[in-house]
Amino acid sequence: MIENLKFQHSFNYAYIDEYTKKEIRRKTLKAVCIPGYQVPYSSPEMPISRGWGTGGLHVTLSLVGPDDVLKIIDQGSDASVNACNLRNFVKEMSNCALTFDTAEATLIQTRHRVPEEILTEKQILVLQVPQPEVLRGVERHEAKTRIMHGEADYAKIWVTLYEAYVRTGGLRSGAGHPMMVNGRYVATPSPIPSWDVPNLSMARCLYLFGAGREKRIHCVPPFTRVEPLEFEDIRFKVEEFAGVRCSVSGQDKAFMDQIYADDLSSSYVVNDSNFLDKLRKGPRPPQRLFTNPE
Amino acid sequence: MGYVAVKGGEDAIGNANKLVDYFRWKGRTKPIELDQARTQMRLAVDRAMGEGSLYAPELAALALLQVEGDTFEAAFHLRAYRATLERRYTSEVIDTREMFVQRRISSTFRDIPGGQILGPTRDYSFRLLNPALLNASLGSIEKFIADLKDEIDPKKLHEMTTYKKVIDIFLKEGLMSRKPREGEDRRVFDVTREAIKFPVPRSAALQMLARADTGALMCMAYSTMRGFGMSHGTVGELRVGDVLVKVVDKRGRTRIIGKIKVTEAEMVGGSGRGQTADSGRAAKRSPAPRYSIGYGLCFGQNETKGICMGMVESALRTPNPDNPANNQEFVLYHTEVIEGYGFTNHLKLPHYVTFQAGMEGARRNARRNAEQGKQVAVSAGVEENND
């Protein structure tokens, strides 16, 4: 028969046991020391699905303390169901404070967006990463991509960029533009829009990238050079949103969501939910804007 | 605005959870008791334990009940629970020669030392739906068991015994060797504590296969014998039964901490030498062993998994880029059940930012190309979307 004991399992603070947290922190420190390098880590199973933010959770839970103020966003929004779910979990397991205010948070976990508002040295941004291997599209074997990184052999990804230019007339479209970190490792910024990539460079905050399913952590430390891959004559560009204004705040110069109505007409809304709230209430929060080269 | 813009996401989650319960109970049938699930859904429990990588029949039964029988979810629940458990001991290597055998067959020889034991198997039953099962009652179950006992003559029962292994025949004749293969990484690795790197040690491959999805392993194994590899493995020995789990305590005493049921498959295959075209002739002449074992072991009675694991293990030891099943990275990453299940299902998460980024890029390119009067194909961002 079952003893009741078996079902009365209590969890360690912040869910993950201390040995594993220590291991994750050690691997995170290694990632900080070697910007852009993917550090393998244990990545134990979590009670949420692989591919739904387990890597971000590992990093967040290994760092969170009762004094932390946590914000979790998904696709720029605090209200997304998965963000709610993860937020409840971390709160329940760590008893940290919660916020929607970007400026107030000490620890922000995000999926596929960097907040518009400038982050400070008191803040850590944890990005969820589905595929940490920036070279996976050009080399399917992990054993080979590790060697390519070791030898800084990035020829294939440059060729890919060139091919995209030949085929489409642009360097590349889509999220997750590859970046050169600190002049050494090419890494993925995670599938954030190009809009966000320049904000990773020489920032005051710490960017940690957790890929749970693939069991890798990489990092962009504060004040580290991040260069989106580009050619001398064909330059990296961010999304333009040319002539577009937010239908709620009337503002421009932010990453926009395009909302389609029943008659298929569309309007735009600022994507970052907290940034939008602030635009509606008062002065525009500080923001770093990238100007596309001519 | 669509589901992406759900405000009050927490309410939505709460309601979704309630609806799950409603759909479980709306038929107003009697709740299935845990022991009923554990005993009468024995093979589902075994599969969940194997893929969940935790030998705990009661917890596996609970998981199956909780998730309404979804094998992926049941295994997932066990894995998530397992990840929170402290490790106090490392067990001694299990000796399947000491197995209390319930079933044991070999297809390499007509007779094997100790004999073939068919045991509990559905292999030779007709797959016809049996409505008589609906009439079963506690009374009929008691009667069935009493009748079965009557059929057994206690005087004819021989002493409980263990069985030698079929591979002993190969070893004795020198057709198989206990020596590790040349250059093979034999370190003991723990896939739950470290991320694997390729080429992986054999221990890591075996651990990953033992935890892999049964269906995915079957797909791989089937491919090796159907067209993407022509290695019709032979069941050297398949045994199902209970083995003791032992640990050595701090004072050096060996302690038995329990017994677990396992399925073990030893698939006889080539030795890995002479399998490539250019070395075929050399291998024939060499006195080296001709056969090797592809090893399969999993929790509970899951013969499909055991056999398929053995075949795939054998395939992995003879790399061949032409066949998916002979490719370590392909097999080990993509048969991992919790990762595959999670990532394929993550497509249900909103991706509108990623998608918008792709659309904006495509539009920008289209605009510029129109300005420059260029005729260039405009690809949407989708193909380059690495999420």
Average the pLDDT over each of A6-20, A53-67, B234-248, B373-387 and give the range with the smallest value: B373-387
On the question of pLDDT at A45 being above 50, the answer is yes
pLDDT of residue B7: 55
Predicted TM-score of the model (pTM): 0.90
A136 and chain B in contact, CB less than 8 A: yes
Could you give the CA distance from residue B246 to residue B255 in angstroms, rounded to a whole number?
5
On the question of pLDDT at A1 being above 60, the answer is no
CB–CB of A193 and B376 under 8 A? no
Picking from A85, A113, A168, the nearest residue to B353 by CB comes out as A113
In chain A, ranges of CATH 3.40.50.11310 domains: 18-135+176-228
Question: Over pLDDT 90: what percentage of chain B?
Answer: 66
pLDDT of residue B1: 29
Residue in A with minimal Cα distance to B63: A7
On the question of pLDDT at B346 being above 70, the answer is yes
pLDDT of residue B285: 52
CB B58 within 8 A of CB B74: no
Kindly state the average pLDDT of the residues A138-148: 95
A81 and chain B in contact, CB less than 8 A: yes
CB–CB of A173 and B360 under 8 A? yes
pLDDT of residue B383: 44
CB–CB of B9 and A170 under 8 A? no
Domain segments of chain B as ranges: 12-82, 96-122+159-341, 352-384
Q: Sort out which chain B residues have CB atoms less than 8 A from A44's CB and list them.
A: 83, 192
pLDDT of residue A8: 59
On the question of pLDDT at B184 being above 90, the answer is no
Cα distances from B118 to residues A285, B105, B122, B141, B350, in angstroms, run: 75, 7, 10, 23, 52
On the question of pLDDT at B136 being above 50, the answer is yes
pLDDT of residue A7: 55
- Measure the CA angle with vertex B67, ends B65 and B68; round to 5°: 65
pLDDT of residue B89: 85
Read off the pLDDT band of A263 (50, 70, 90).
Answer: very high
A113 and chain B in contact, CB less than 8 A: yes
Kindly state the average pLDDT of the residues A81-101: 93
Q: Sort out which chain A residues have CB atoms less than 8 A from B9's CB and list them.
A: 79-81, 83-85
Q: What is the pLDDT of residues B228-268, one digit of tens each?
A: 987 778 999 999 999 999 999 989 999 999 999 999 999 99
A257 and chain B in contact, CB less than 8 A: yes
Could you give the CA distance from residue A182 to residue A224 in angstroms, rounded to a whole number?
6
Q: Sort out which chain B residues have CB atoms less than 8 A from A256's CB and list them.
A: 356
ipTM confidence:
0.89
Could you give the CA distance from residue A6 to residue A250 in angstroms, rounded to a whole number?
57
Read off the pLDDT band of B387 (50, 70, 90).
Answer: low
pLDDT of residue B2: 32
CATH architecture, domain A18-135+176-228: 3-Layer(aba) Sandwich (3.40)
Could you give the CA distance from residue B170 to residue B348 in angstroms, rounded to a whole number?
52
Please tell me the distance in Å from B342's CA to the nearest CA on chain A. Answer: 4
A52 and chain B in contact, CB less than 8 A: yes
Cα distances from B382 to residues A186, A227, B58, B193, in angstroms, run: 22, 23, 45, 35
Residue in B with minimal Cα distance to A266: B1
CB–CB of A172 and B384 under 8 A? yes
Tokens of B252: 């050096």
A240 and chain B in contact, CB less than 8 A: yes
On the question of pLDDT at A79 being above 50, the answer is yes
Tokens of B57: 């029949």
Please tell me the distance in Å from A137's CA to the nearest CA on chain B. Answer: 8
Give the CA diameter of chain B.
Answer: 97
Could you give the CA distance from residue A128 to residue B320 in angstroms, rounded to a whole number?
34
Q: What is the pLDDT of residues A172-197, one digit of tens each?
A: 768 999 999 999 999 999 999 999 99
Average pLDDT, chain B: 88
Read off the pLDDT band of B288 (50, 70, 90).
Answer: low
CB–CB of B83 and A52 under 8 A? no
Please tell me the distance in Å from A115's CA to the nearest CA on chain B. Answer: 13
pLDDT of residue B278: 40
Residue B365: enclosing H or E segment and its boundaries?
helix B352-371
